[in-house]
Chain A
Amino acid sequence: MLASHRLSLAWIGRGVEIERKFVPCTIKKGSEMIEMRYEAPRTLKAAVALLAAANGRAKVLAGGTDLLIQMRSGRIDPELLIDVKCIPELRTIAEEKGGYRFGAAVSAMELVEHEGLARMWPGVIDAVKLIGSIQVKGRATVGGNLCNASPAADSVPALVAAGALARIIGPGGRREVPVEEIPAGPGLTSLRAGEMVVSILLPKRPQRSGDAYLRFTPRTEMDIAVVGAGVNLTLNAKGVCSRARVSLGAVAERVLLLPDAAAALIGQRVDAAALERLAAAASAACRPIDDKRGTKEYRIKVAGVMARRAAQIAVKRAKGEV
């Protein structure tokens, strides 16, 4: 019963386009007849031209699972929506130099169902799986999750721990930056005027590597991270941690990369003592706020717990135990 239920929902999430028409149009807004334009360019060049010409009054539309909600609530009021889902570079997943590059507008469900990606970066895929429900994942994209710049975005800490690189295009051409450099604060990115994210590269990884992402939410699903922790590490042949990256979400104004927490693991066997140091370093790096989703005090404590538990899973994966 449960299995078939899951199966039919997964179909919805497959990014199947059911007679979707990407027709440019204008929509009348309010009484003053301000018009909102919708464009669905088919090339990067066209998208960049539209974006650059709009002087900041345009918004890139990927899955719209953040954007449409913000528009409905009146928080934003764009004059132009540039739907990027018709641009091939933003919709493909391909192997590259032993890693994987995926388009910024690939749906979360397409990533979840990609076997190669899930095998190489299970922690990243764990994080992507946590975004909303299956239905939401059918629309939501990792590019949108990143560029929405929520400190609580689930895929971002996992990408940061993975050392993922984002490819950006804009009026000044292309550039490539580490993912952690894109979010600048709640709802703010470091993208320059007219720029957008094209794709994300998850690099090739050494043998005996493992990654994991865990988040804490009061509810088991359909909730927003109170704390998210990503850990990505490599063990040498003796089981000693040789490389590690640790990241935290929802404990600061943006997702944090934690070199001190990583240092607690590197050169260690990742035993109980090392894990405790990792937890302490993770808690120490938090600079959260008190809000309706959690208190400062609580977030700081649980950040350590989540980082420790994520590291334990990452170690198991590196050892091939799971």
Chain B
Amino acid sequence: MTVKYQEKPLKIVGTRPLRPDGVDKVTGRARYAADYNLPGQLIGKVLRSPHAHARIKSIDTSKAAALPGVKALVTRDDFADMPVEYAASGELTINFRDVTRNMMAREKVFYDGHPVAAVAATSASIAREALKLIKVEYEVLPHVIDVLEAMKPDAPLLHEHQFTDGVTPKPDKPSNVAKRMVFALGSLEEGFKQADLVIEREFNTKPVHQGYIEPQACVASYTEDGQVELWTGTQGHFVFRAQLAKVLQMDVSKIRVTATELGGGFGGKNNIYNEPLAIALSRKSHRPVKMVMTREEVFRATGPTSGANVKIKMGCTRDGRITAADAELNFQAGAFAGSSVGMASMCTFTRYDLDNVRVVGNDVTVNRPKVAAYRAPGAPIAVFGVESVIDEMARKLGIDPIDFRLKNAAKEGTQTYYGPTLGPIGFVETLNRAKAHPNYRLPLGPDQGRGIATGFWFNIGKETSSTVHVNEDGTVTLIIGIVDVAGGTRATMAMMVAEEFGIDYDKVRPVVGDTSALGFNFITAGSRGTFAGGMAAVLAARDAMEKLCRRVARIRDVPPEAVAWKDGRAQPAEGSGTQFKPMSLEEIAREAGRTGGTISGHSEINAEGAGPGFGTHIADVEVDRETGSIKILRYTIVQDVGKAIHPAYVEGQFEGGAVQGIGWALNEEYVYGADGVLQNPGFLDYRVPVASDVPFIDSVIVEVPNPNHPYGVRGCGEVPIIAPMAAISNAVENAIGVRLREQPMSPPRVLKAIEAAALATTQD
């Protein structure tokens, strides 16, 4: 379902009102999952594997069970095995056979931190004591952490049943390469023949964590009649419900999930971890069970995005027209198959209008936590390689980097190599606006440099439900099923609904309903919140307005088609020739009970027609040649968002994405010991940027409306993280003449590259 864009004068959309969740957050009143407590609740804790790879020979919980205060214990024996069955979870696909093994190890443990048992006790310290009393006998196996190592034929094998999918003939030996995929258009051979310049390079990136401030937490209550209530921090409570019903073999109707305020997710809260354990412990103990992860658990056991090896080969003519583009993406999936390599493959070159393309993607299992989605899953990794090569081409040919991209830019009608033809998009506009931005012309000092890079993301729609209740005083309650992942979703939904009704923003109270309040809603992912959620909310409002008009027709005794909704009132429809006294929303609401009952509007849709988003970034850096430290001086983001419903929250998405990209580029990195154990599971040594690491970021919003949304919205939350790694790396090259093809560009790595380059020049 799509709703066509209609240009109209706007009163509320495009302004910057306060978000309804803001005051509670700044006064500390907002309730996150860990703030929920139930009478009689127990505390649940998880015993985790200390090994990167081992067979579980036995688990003895008897001593722990005998400890006073311990009320329940669960292991693999408490959960059903699951057959292979796929489902969408956010932008990635999950397999229930693996889901059940990831939440609780069965035959083997696959990473340091893999859950092996869980216990519920009357206090956290008793639960921790109990974990120490559980005896697990392991047969330690050789492990593999690095993606290229894992692809070697003699690498330690994680899954004996895993044969590479997507190659013919079907291999006869199992492999860590779960899947190989190929996307192609035209002829590479032809393309490279036409090229005057061919550049081939290899890049490596490290896995990074979503780094949400709030560790996963949940409280579960399983009642004696088999009903579950769950409060949890999630990006999709309906999807969690579906997954829980599956792994716990329960009816969907018996599980009710409340999505609490969310302290960040970025794709990392698309998957269940402790929830099934808490429910199973509650079922066994007959008490509510609360589980809160520590930061260490978050790092050891929840999904980072893939680390990867990327090979890019591109050819272009002397005047800068790209003739061929070839990529190989090797992505770590973590312990189980299903990385974002497919998404990344489709994003690799989709900013350019190309005739000859091939992208090969490999999905590779390694002994690390199973990857999860992370903001534009996979795209930044592939784009880092491509935009670096394009930068090098432009420099070699003496063409301005923005002009080079303009020469090749995708436009409406461009045929993508993964299938669709692009509709109206604003990529060229972002390049032109970036070129005109003062940042592009500011003079640079010694050891300072400027880099350009671009990004593309599909954005998605999917199942969405919404309800609008007209209250008895004429105010409106808006129930949405899209989890507000703290991006301001409630505000933007309320703004669109207020605009539709023609009433004030503060007359609409938006609430995220629990899973019993609405029909199914897909997860908040793919930048679909404002697009799909907005479309559903608008349709629910229009449904209510239609009912309001019909009600007024009855009250005023005029034909229904003689009534139209305008400026917050039911009025005589233009050209109907009928006259009657208009009724305001408040007047209708006050009489609603006596004139036919309460009026509500609904919409249950599968939103389609999400508009792709494009962005262009400018990064200015300064490099300390003696320490290898990179300082980001300033940063500019230009992005097409279709329509900024609430420009401040769009800017928030731009800045947030760029900051996460800066962290990826500069210092974020998992450090594993030779034993496969994670050495830096905390924010002290896993270095996300702090405020003083981040420069002033200028946001330039471009609005090329999406024809398939009532207000022209495209998603905007993911594109901003795609370009930073490449933009910063290009800027470093511009500053000191050294190109970093490995991320993060941490000071030791940069210093080494500077020294290697100096050595190379003296040897020349």
Contacts of B671 in A (CB 8 A): 292
CB contacts under 8 Å to B, within A110-159, are: none
State which of B67, B121, B627, B667 has its C-beta within 8 Å of the C-beta of A219: B667
Cβ-closest chain B residue relative to A301:
B751
> Which residues of the partner chain B approach A305 to less than 8 Å between Cβ atoms?
626-627
- A219–B669 CA distance with the chains assembled, in angstroms: 13
Collect the chain B residues with CB atoms within 8 Å of residue A216's CB: 627, 629, 747
Residues in chain A near residue B121, CB distance under 8 A: 31
A218 touching B125, Cβ below 8 Å = no
Is A302 located at the chain interface by the 8 A CB criterion? Answer: yes
Q: How does the 8 Å CB contact mask read for A202-242 relative to B, with 1 for contact and 0 for none? A: 00000000000000101111111010000000000000000
Query: B679 at the A/B interface (Cβ < 8 Å)?
Result: yes
A223 with B627: CB separation less than 8 A: no
* Nearest Cβ on chain A to B142's Cβ, whole angstroms: 23
| Cβ A30 vs Cβ B125 within 8 A | yes
Q: Is A293 an interface residue when CB atoms closer than 8 A count as contact?
A: yes
Q: Is there an interface contact between B690 and A31, defined as CB atoms closer than 8 Å?
A: no
User: B125, A221: Cβ atoms under 8 Å?
Assistant: no
- Cβ–Cβ contact B748 & A298, under 8 A: yes
Q: A219-B689, A224-B684, A298-B751 are in contact. Are A31 and B627 (CB under 8 A)?
A: no
Q: Residue A295 at the B interface, CB < 8 A?
A: yes
Report the minimum CB–CB distance from B638 to chain A (whole Å): 26
Contact with A along B661-697 (1 / 0, CB 8 A): 0000011000100000001100011010111110000
User: Closest approach, in angstroms, between the C-beta of B564 and any C-beta of chain A?
Assistant: 48
Most chain B CB within 10 A, of A219, A221, A222, A291, is at: A219
Asked if A31 and B125 sit within 8 Å, CB to CB, the answer is yes
User: Can you spell out 11 A-B residue pairs with CB atoms less than 8 angstroms apart?
Assistant: A31-B121, A216-B629, A216-B747, A218-B746, A218-B747, A220-B692, A220-B693, A224-B684, A292-B671, A292-B679, A298-B748
What is the bound-complex CA distance between A218 and B663, given in angstroms?
Answer: 11
Beta-carbon contacts of B619-649 to A below 8 Å, as 1s and 0s?
A: 0000000110100000000000000000000
Give per-residue flags for B727-764: 1 if the beta carbon is below 8 A from chain A beta carbons, else 0.
Answer: 00000000000000000001110010000000000000
Whether A298 lies near B747 (C-beta < 8 A) is yes
| Cross-interface CB contact of B690 among A32, A221, A291, A297, cutoff 8 Å | A221
A residues near B129, Cβ cutoff 8 Å: 30-32
Interface positions of B from 55 to 92, Cβ below 8 Å from A: 67-69
Distance A32 CA – B626 CA, assembled complex (angstroms): 55
Nearest chain B CB to A33 CB, angstrom units: 10
Q: Does B590 contact A (CB under 8 A)?
A: no
For A226, what are the chain B residues with a Cβ–Cβ distance below 8 Å? 747
Closest to B669 in A: A292
Tell me if B357 is interfacial: C-beta within 8 Å of chain A: no
Q: Is the CB of A302 within 8 A of B667?
A: no
A29 at the interface (CB under 8 A from B): yes
- Contact residues of A with B, CB < 8 Å? 29-32, 216, 218-224, 226, 291-295, 297-298, 301-302, 305
Does A223 contact B626, Cβ atoms closer than 8 Å?
A: no
Nearest Cβ on chain B to A311's Cβ, whole angstroms? 14
Q: Once bound together, how far apart are the Cα atoms of A191 and B618, in whole Å?
A: 55
Closest to B70 in A: A31
- Provide the B125-143 mask, 1 if CB < 8 A to any CB of A, else 0: 1101110000000000000
Q: Are A292 and B692 in contact (CB under 8 A)?
A: no
- Separation of A30 and B130 alpha carbons in the complex (Å): 9
Q: Are A292 and B685 in contact (CB under 8 A)?
A: yes
Residue of A nearest to B122 (CB): A31
Give the contacting residue for B629; candidates A218, A291, A292; CB below 8 A: A218
Contact across chains for A293 and B685 when beta carbons are under 8 A apart: yes
Whether the Cβ atoms of A223 and B684 lie closer than 8 Å is: yes
With A31-B129, A298-B747 already in contact, the answer to whether A220 and B690 are too (CB < 8 A) is yes
Closest approach, in angstroms, between the C-beta of A36 and any C-beta of chain B? 11
- CB of A219 within 8 A of CB of B693, answer yes
Q: Which of A218, A224, A291, A298 meets B667, CB within 8 Å?
A: A218
Cα A297 to Cα B756 in complex, Å, equals: 14
Q: Shortest distance in angstroms between A318's beta carbon and chain B's nearest beta carbon?
A: 23
CB B123 to nearest CB in A, in angstroms, measures: 8
The answer for the CA separation of A302 and B754 in the assembled complex, in Å, is 14
* A31 vs B67: C-alpha distance when bound (angstroms): 8
* Minimal Cβ-Cβ distance residue in B for A308: B626
From A31, A32, A218, A301, B687 is in contact (CB under 8 Å) with A218
From B629, B691, B748, give the contact of A294 (CB < 8 A).
Answer: B748
Complex interface: chain A residues within 8 A of B689 (CB):
219
Given A292-B679, A298-B747, answer yes or no on A219-B125 (Cβ-Cβ < 8 Å). no
- Chain A residue with the shortest CB-CB distance to B692: A220
Q: A30-B129, A216-B747, A219-B690 are in contact. List 9 more A-B contacts (CB 8 A).
A: A30-B125, A31-B68, A220-B693, A221-B693, A222-B690, A291-B679, A292-B679, A293-B685, A302-B751
Known: A30-B126, A292-B679. A221 touches B692 (CB 8 A): yes
Assuming the contacts A218-B746, A219-B667, asked whether A29 and B125 have C-beta atoms less than 8 A apart, the reply is yes
Interchain CB contact (< 8 A) of A223 among B126, B679, B687? B687
Closest B residue by C-beta to A74: B128
**B673: nearest residue on chain A (CB-CB)?**
A292
Q: How far is the CA of A305 from the CA of B628 in the complex (A)?
A: 11
Specify which of B130, B626, B748 is in contact with A295 (CB 8 Å cutoff): B748
Tell me the minimal C-beta distance from A82 to chain B in angstroms: 22
Q: How far is the CA of A294 from the CA of B679 in the complex (A)?
A: 13
Q: Cα distance A292–B463 when bound, in Å?
A: 44
Residues of the A chain whose Cβ atoms lie less than 8 Å from the Cβ of B627: 216, 302, 305
CB distance from A53 to the nearest CB of B (A): 26
- List chain B residues, Cβ under 8 A from A292: 671, 679-680, 685
Q: Which residues of B contact A302 (CB under 8 A)?
A: 626-627, 747, 751
Chain B hits for A295, CB < 8 A:
748
Q: How many Å lie between the Cα of A218 and that of B685 in the bound state?
A: 10
> In the complex, A301→B667 CA distance in Å?
19
Complex CA gap A297/B679 in Å reads 20
Bound: A294/B690 CA distance, A? 19
Q: A223–B121 Cα gap in the complex (Å)?
A: 36
- Residue of A with least CB distance to B683: A222
Minimal beta-carbon separation of A31 from chain B (angstroms): 4
Within the complex, the shortest CB–CB distance from A299 to chain B, in Å, comes to 9
The CA-CA distance from A253 to B313 in the complex, in Å, is 47
Whole-angstrom CA separation of A265 from B691 in the bound complex: 37
Residue among A218, A224, A301 with the highest chain B CB neighbour number at 10 A: A218
Pick the contact of B126: A31, A218, A220 (CB < 8 A): A31
Q: Most chain-A Cβ atoms within 10 A of its Cβ — which of B68, B680, B687?
A: B687
Whole-angstrom distance from the CB of B248 to the nearest CB of chain A? 29
Q: A31-B69, A292-B671, A292-B679 are in contact. Are A218 and B684 (CB under 8 A)?
A: no
A30 CB contacts on chain B under 8 angstroms: 125-126, 128-129
Residues of B with C-beta under 8 A to A291: 679
Interface centre among A30, A32, A223, A302 (most CB of B within 10 A): A30
